[in-house]
């Protein structure tokens, strides 16, 4: 019986003979869209099964002790990570962007199943995060490993990873257009027909998978009853400004809480502190439990009492201003609860918590306008929806995704104008205040951010290690001029010599021009030493911290042709401007094909 490897080899030979590359990419986009959709459906059903099981249990329904559940879920995730996964759980979308930028779209095999285990345990037990990120991560890992199996090159592999993300999003929200736009905005694909058709096929495949397994069941059971009113324009502008500042708060709070949890060296302490903190927040504000789709649906139905659930403030909720304060409280504490869940070791995504936060803010703002006594009346349901769009546009810098997602959720485009107003204002203010999103801030420090700026994109795709040259003859500071000439200069093909001490630390450099006038004066061979001739290089490149953009800038500012590279305090080689520009040109040609 033929081995699996031989079967695969025969298939690849047949494929190269009978199927063109373009056709194969289209077929693969359908397959990865289908598989990503299956991953999303599996993730949703597993999570809902856990939630239903807990709701039927004594702990949840009779004693109302649901606030202890998150620490149980986080403990289960901790056990899984420690003994099975054996690596810290990374932020889903950020790790995909890093993979596309620095690894040619390669993701590990365990990234397929780990999100399907860790995320349901986190969310099902009440962790205040979403399922979209894990669904995208699992689908992308499926696509990446299939691409590797079928020997697909890095550029096409990256496209198929984006296709998988579109398939997963399309399956979860049943919104195929928004799914395509998300892939373009977040993964910064070039929006051309070469990428458009595979994304479209994957998105269709993903949404059909959702319809097949879930029928017409939708996340939001809502239909528009009121369209856009021209007199409400000013209020939508205010909503855009409000969601912008909420987005800035959300992003800054995320990093503040993560910095706080870095103080705890042990994951056990993070789990304990985070679990207790989440439990306290859930006791006071039950809508923070889990993803929060039930909360959004209740707000859309106009039932804010059911949305808020049983709280310590139930006796005061007859007062609409108490309800408004509680809704603004959810806006504030959803960001804290979500980030605490992540920092404590949970797995999930930020997209759906962003929607929950936006729905609470939009609904609260609609209630404020309607209850000021100034004679204004707006649709609180519409403000709930458009608030979600404003937060999505601001938090993840994806205004088009926000606009089309909410438009598709509502089943029409009656709110298209207010969606554009609020989302664009939120995005513009947030983009000016924050250069990077939660997805990209840490990646920017290592030059791994993807961007629609082709120059920056190409530099981000380049690897520093690939342009480091090591064929330089080093010299010692105590060497005499004669020793240097005989032992290094005479056998080197380069005109620059690093001066190193016993610990391989760079003391300085000598350029051939520095000694050209001394080379033929033999009387100086034993009287002049390397330490008398060396000088500092015009700039240093630091392997751990310098991105390719920074490297290029250092060459431009210093005017040097060669710069030394320092790694962990030690010299490892030089980068030459000519090799850097050659590598850049090759990467640009490959990227533009």
End-to-end CA distance of the chain: 41
Q: What is the pLDDT of residue 224?
A: 66
Query: Fold match between 4-214 and 230-446?
Result: yes
- Residue 61: its pLDDT value, please? 45
Range of weakest confidence among 27-41, 241-255, 383-397, 485-499: 485-499
Residue 38 pLDDT greater than 90, yes or no: yes
- Whether the CB-CB separation of 247 and 394 falls below 8 Å is answered with yes
Alpha-carbon distance of 457 to 450, in angstroms, equals 6
Among the listed ranges 34-38, 273-277, 451-455, 537-541, which one has the minimum average pLDDT value? 451-455
Residue 11 reports pLDDT greater than 70: yes
Take residue 104 and report the two structure tokens written for it: 């040619």
For range 355-360, the mean pLDDT: 94
Q: Is 68:59 a contact under the CB 8 Å cutoff?
A: yes
> Exposure of 526 by Cβ count < 10 A (0-12 exposed, 13-18 middle, 19+ buried)?
exposed
Average the pLDDT over 235-248 and give the result.
Answer: 96
Q: What is the CATH number of domain 456-592?
A: 3.10.580.10
pLDDT class of 522 with cuts at 50, 70, 90: confident
Exposed/middle/buried for residue 68 (C-beta within 10 Å: 0-12, 13-18, 19+) = middle
Is the pLDDT at 223 greater than 70? The verdict is no
The answer, yes or no, to whether residue 446 has pLDDT greater than 80, is no
* Fold classified for 4-214: Clc chloride channel (1.10.3080)
- pLDDT over 50 (residue 491): yes
Confidence of residue 90 (pLDDT cuts 50, 70, 90): confident
Q: Residue 41's pLDDT band (boundaries 50, 70, 90)?
A: very high
Half-sphere exposure of 177 (CA within 13 A, CB side): 12
The continuous run of DSSP H or E covering 486 comes out as: helix 481-487
d(CA 451, CA 96): 14
Q: Give residue 15's pLDDT.
A: 83
Whether the pLDDT of residue 290 is over 90: the answer is no
How confident is residue 592, by pLDDT bands cut at 50, 70 and 90?
low
Q: Which CATH architecture has domain 230-446?
A: Orthogonal Bundle (1.10)
Task: Please answer whether residues 198 and 27 qualify as being in contact, where contact means their C-beta atoms are separated by less than 8 angstroms.
Answer: no
Higher pLDDT, 107 or 518: 107
What pLDDT score does 218 carry? 62
What is d(CA 390, CA 251) in angstroms, rounded to the nearest whole number?
A: 14
Distance CA 353, CA 331 (A): 10
Indicate the pLDDT class of residue 191, thresholds 50, 70 and 90.
low
> Within 10 Å of residue 592's Cβ, how many Cβ atoms?
9
Length of the chain: 593
Average pLDDT, the chain: 87
**C-beta atoms surrounding 36 within 10 Å:** 35
The residue ranges of every structural domain in the chain are: 4-214, 230-446, 456-592
Angle between helices 351-371 and 132-149 in degrees, nearest 10: 150
DSSP state string for 154-170 = HHHHHHHHHHHHHHHHH
Measure Cα distances from 52 to 197, 317, 347, 404, 474 in Å: 39, 28, 20, 31, 68
The C-alpha atoms of residue 537 and residue 243 are separated, in whole angstroms, by: 49
Q: How far apart are CA 359 and CA 115, in angstroms?
A: 26
Range with lowest mean pLDDT among 76-85, 200-209, 310-319, 486-495: 310-319
pLDDT digits (tens, 9 = 90+) for 398-440: 999 999 999 888 766 788 899 999 999 999 999 999 988 888 8
242 vs 106: which has the higher pLDDT: 242
What is the pLDDT, as a whole number, of residue 39? Answer: 95
* Tens digits of residue pLDDT in 537-586: 999 999 888 888 888 889 888 888 889 999 988 999 999 988 888 887 77
CB atoms under 10 Å from CB of 396, counted, come to: 25
Alpha-carbon gap, residue 74 to 69, rounded angstroms = 9
- Return all residues near 499 (Cβ < 8 A) that are at least 6 apart: 474, 475, 476, 477, 506, 507, 508, 509, 510, 530, 531, 534
């Amino acid at each position: 019986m033929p081995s699996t490897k031989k079967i695969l080899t025969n298939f690849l030979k047949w494929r190269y003979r009978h199927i063109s590359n373009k056709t194969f990419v289209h077929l693969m986009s359908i397959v990865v869209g289908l598989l990503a959709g299956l991953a999303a459906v599996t993730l949703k059903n597993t999570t809902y099964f856990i939630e239903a099981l807990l709701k039927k249990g004594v702990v949840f329904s009779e004693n109302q002790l649901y606030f202890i559940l998150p620490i149980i879920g986080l403990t289960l995730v901790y056990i899984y990570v420690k003994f099975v996964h054996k690596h810290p759980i990374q932020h889903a979308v950020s790790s995909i962007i890093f993979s596309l930028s620095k690894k040619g779209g390669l993701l590990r095999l365990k990234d397929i199943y780990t999100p399907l285990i860790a995320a349901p345990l986190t969310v099902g037990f009440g962790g205040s995060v979403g399922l979209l990120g894990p669904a995208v991560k699992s689908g992308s890992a499926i696509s990446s490993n299939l691409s590797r199996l079928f020997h697909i090159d890095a550029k096409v592999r990256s496209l198929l990873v984006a296709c998988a993300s579109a398939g997963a999003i399309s399956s979860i929200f049943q919104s195929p257009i928004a799914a395509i736009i998300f892939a373009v905005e977040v993964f910064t694909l070039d929006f051309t027909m070469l990428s458009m058709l595979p994304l479209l096929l994957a998105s269709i495949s993903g949404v059909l998978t959702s319809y097949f397994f879930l029928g017409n069941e939708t996340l939001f059971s809502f239909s528009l009853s009121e369209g856009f009113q021209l007199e409400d324009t000013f209020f939508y502008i205010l909503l855009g400004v409000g969601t912008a500042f909420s987005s800035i708060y959300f992003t800054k709070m995320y990093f503040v809480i993560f910095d706080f949890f870095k103080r705890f060296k042990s994951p056990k302490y993070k789990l304990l502190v985070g679990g207790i903190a989440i439990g306290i927040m859930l006791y006071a504000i039950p809508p923070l439990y889990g993803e929060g789709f039930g909360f959004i649906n209740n707000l859309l139905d106009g039932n804010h009492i059911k949305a808020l659930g049983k709280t310590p403030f139930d006796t005061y909720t007859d007062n609409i201003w108490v309800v408004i304060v509680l809704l603004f409280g959810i806006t504030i504490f959803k960001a804290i609860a979500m980030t605490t869940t992540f920092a404590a070791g949970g797995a999930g995504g930020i997209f759906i918590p962003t929607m929950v936060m936006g729905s609470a803010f939009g609904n609260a703002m609609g209630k404020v306008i309607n209850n000021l006594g100034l004679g204004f009346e707006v649709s609180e349901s519409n403000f709930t929806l458009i608030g979600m769009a404003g937060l999505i546009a601001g938090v993840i810098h994806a205004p088009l995704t926000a606009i089309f997602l909410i438009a598709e959720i509502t089943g029409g485009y009656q709110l298209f104008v207010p969606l554009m107003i609020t989302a664009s204002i939120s995005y513009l203010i947030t983009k000016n205040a924050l250069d990077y999103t939660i997805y990209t801030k840490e990646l920017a420090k290592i030059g791994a951010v993807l961007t629609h700026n082709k120059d920056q994109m190409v530099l981000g795709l380049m690897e520093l290690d690939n342009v480091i040259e090591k064929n330089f003859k080093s010299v010692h500071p105590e060497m005499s001029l004669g020793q240097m000439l005989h032992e290094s200069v005479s056998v080197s093909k380069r005109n620059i010599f690093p001066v190193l001490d016993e610990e391989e630390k760079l003391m300085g450099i000598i350029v051939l021009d520095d000694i050209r006038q001394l080379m033929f004066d033999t009387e100086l061979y034993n009287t002049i030493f390397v330490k008398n001739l060396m000088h500092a290089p015009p700039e240093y490149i630091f392997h751990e911290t310098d991105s390719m953009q920074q490297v290029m800038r250092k060459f431009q500012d210093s005017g040097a042709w060669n710069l030394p590279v320092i790694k962990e305090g030690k010299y490892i080689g030089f980068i030459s401007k000519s090799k850097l520009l050659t590598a850049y040109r090759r990467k640009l040609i490959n990227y533009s094909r």
